[in-house]
Structure 1
Amino acid sequence: MADAAMQARRSASSPRLALAFVLLALGGFAALAGQMHHAATAHWDEAALQLAQQWRATHPLVDMVMREFSALGSTPVLTLFTVLAAGYLCCVGRPARAAAVSVAMITGALAVTALKTAFGRARPDPEFAALVQEGLSFPSGHASMSAVFYLTVGTLIAQRHARLRERSFLMAAAVFMAVLIGVTRVMLGVHWASDVLAGWAFGAGWAALWFCIAARLRDARGPG
């Protein structure tokens, strides 16, 4: 009985905490966007880019390893992972959560594209990059969408575990994946550091927003 009451209190408080996190994360994104727009990030953006170039020059394996890890945040890989995650959630009787993951990824990708177009920031000079890519830079799509996917799925899976250490491990793993993928984008020289920080902020906020929506759907329709 006590465990059930504790679980109910935790379930009731989680959406409120998630909503507070949404406001915090998206507020952080807005602050970074303002700083970037006024070139306040230029100094440390350039310093991070030069440091990454030096690190690749002195550690030849870094380039190869970063390329492999970066692929975990690519559109084809995240699309595949999204389909698998949604399929799994449907199989275990959680269609509302499967829909939340799918729609979070689709709307997140559209939002990132719109933000890139709105800010119109160019990528770093190709001479500093180990991997030359086309397109705009702010926010980082890899950092944004990996945060949306891994944090959304990590949170939904963690909810199915009662023990704190299990939930903590799952959330730590989700955060680690998002951070790792974002770091690779700076290390490869395809994004400024502020692009990645903004991507993390946006992606974390978007994931928390869809956690709130999934919680509302669950409350409205019952378990699912």
Structure 2
Amino acid sequence: MRLPAALTDLFRRVETATLIVILLIAGALWVFVGLASEMMEGELHAFDESVLLALRTPGDPANPIGGPQIELAVRDLTALGGVTVLTLISLSVLTFLFLRRQRASAIFLAVAILGGQALSHLAKSGFSRPRPDLVPHGVEVATASFPSGHSMMAAVTYLTLAVMLARTEGQLRMRAFYVAVAAILAMLVGISRVYLGVHWPSDVLAGWALGAAWALGVWLLARKMARKGQIEPERSVET
């Protein structure tokens, strides 16, 4: 079966990288919607409980595995997804872009991060899932559980910062380094939330999925705006 001429022309004009990112965004949103649907139907309860209990000493749900030293380290990691740390890191990157005379990119980045934060609050308000009561909480919490705000904002902030920094870098390996570090930080924050018993695993998976979709969408929009001259152009990759 032959594709319509207009669709064929579209595929010719759109870069392979753009198509891949669009597919990744669609996949991430599909994961989020699937998790939200399963969560509301109660289908994730067994999975969530088994993972949460696997991180506790057998027979003693109040005691996380690894002992006090690991628990202290995990509390430090979870702070990487908190508002204070994310704000300080974001301001540092914004200052970097201003010093590089990329004022338009800095403003775009600030709007992108604030937009991601607004999306996180909106997503949380749409669901009223209670926090886990299966184990004691390792840190204080106040909002609803789904999706994990720390996990989502870590993915939104770190990945968005990474893709914007990568635009200023001419070496491909450095671009990969930025994205890899951002992904690792987001993963550590999410895992820490489950370890501390303040989120179900599916909360974290949903936060990662929605946060990654947002960051990838920011990358696509930045490329489009750069081509229109609305923000500074991306630095070409050195060969």
**Same-fold status (TM-score > 0.5):** yes
Where does residue 34 of structure 1 map in the other structure?
37
Choose the corresponding residue for 2:140, options 117, 132, 135.
132
Identify the residue that residue 56 of structure 1 maps to in structure 2: 64
How far off is 1:218 after superposition?
Answer: 0.8
TM norm structure 2: 0.82
| Highest RCO, 1 vs 2 (Cα 8 Å, sep ≥ 6) | 1
Relative to total residues, which structure has the larger helix share, 1 or 2? Answer: 1
- Of the three residues 163, 181, 184, the one matched with 1:173 is 181
Matches within 5 A, 1:54-203: 54=57, 56-125=64-133, 127-203=135-211
Contact 1:139 1:198 in 2 (8 A): yes
Alpha-carbon deviation of 1:58?
4.5
Q: Give me the whole-angstrom Cα distance separating, in 1, the residues matched to 2:178 and 2:17.
A: 16
Q: Which runs of 4+ in 1 moved over 6 A?
A: none
Q: Does the aligned pair in 2 maintain the 1:96–1:217 contact within 8 Å? A: no
**1:67-99, Cα deviation, whole Å (9 max, x unpaired):** 101111101111121122122112212233222
Percent of residue pairs identical: 34
2:113–2:160 contact (8 Å) kept in structure 1: no
Deviations 1:118-141 (A, max 9, x none): 111111117432223111010001
Using a 3 Å threshold, how does the CA distance of structure 1 residues 91 and 121 change in structure 2: closer, same or farther? same
Matches of 1:215 and 1:12, distance apart in 2? 11
One of 34, 38, 45 as aligned partner of 2:48: 45
Q: Which of the two has higher C-alpha Rg?
A: 2
Match of 2:218 in 1: 210
Question: Is the alpha carbon distance of 1:183 and 1:58 closer, same or farther for their aligned partners in structure 2, counting shifts above 3 Å?
Answer: closer
- After superposition, the Cα gap between the structure-2 partners of 1:133 and 1:223, relative to the gap in structure 1 and judged at 3 Å, is closer
Q: Which stretches in structure 2 are left out of the alignment for 5+ residues? A: 1-13, 58-62, 233-239
RMSD: 2.0
